[in-house]
Amino acid sequence: MASLTVADALGTIDRELRDVTAALRQADPQPFESALRLLSDAERVFVHGAGRSGLALRSTAMRLMHLGLRVHVVGEVTTPAIRRGDVLLVASGSGTTGGIVQAARTAADVGARVLAISTTAEAPLSDIAETTLVIPAATKTDRSGTASAQYAGSLFEQAVAILGDALFHTLWQRSGRSADDLWPRHANLE
């Protein structure tokens, strides 16, 4: 068997991401519009995900902050209590990640709204969420290679980052603001 090259791996990742984004573009637009409303109407947005899903959502948090939304990352020492009027944006491929589901329950119990990103709408997380954006990708426990040739939940995590950028880009373009308008919020202590 020939050795796999980085170019081969990039080709696999590219094909899988194109398939996922094509499926998302053809999906019912209503959940995406609901997600945009939740984010734009929120007093504050809290993001929460475990592992690489959490890292992808941190990127989304940064872009939403650039847009002028008040954003907090769950687990940071400066993150305040969530309350009514806020939105909790969470990602869990399986929709069953214990800490994520419990955070969603807590948010809902205090009257905050929950926006979930998952591979399924048939899980405890989706039962709590007001809106679930479903990404057609493998969960981290799917090692069959059927939904993705990549390891664990890599395709889901990559798609979370891309979907987060798509949500940001849509909100930004609809706002009518220029890149120069957003730039003053970009980090300047780097």
Identify whether 157 is a catalytic site residue. yes
- Dig out the tokens for 169 from the structure: 């880009």
Closest residue by Cα to residue 110 from 165, 159, 55, 43: 43
CB 80 within 8 A of CB 74: no
The token pair at 179 is 């890149």
From the candidates 16, 33, 76, 157, give the one annotated as an active-site residue.
157
> What is the rounded distance in angstroms from the CA atom of residue 127 to the CA atom of residue 76?
26
Q: For 36, left (φ over 0), alpha (ψ -120 to 50), or beta? A: alpha
- DSSP sequence for 7-41: HHHHHHHHHHHHHHHHHHHHS-SHHHHHHHHHHHH
List Cα–Cα distances, 153 to 77, 102, 104, 142, in angstroms: 28, 21, 21, 8
Rg (CA), the chain: 17
Active site residues: 157
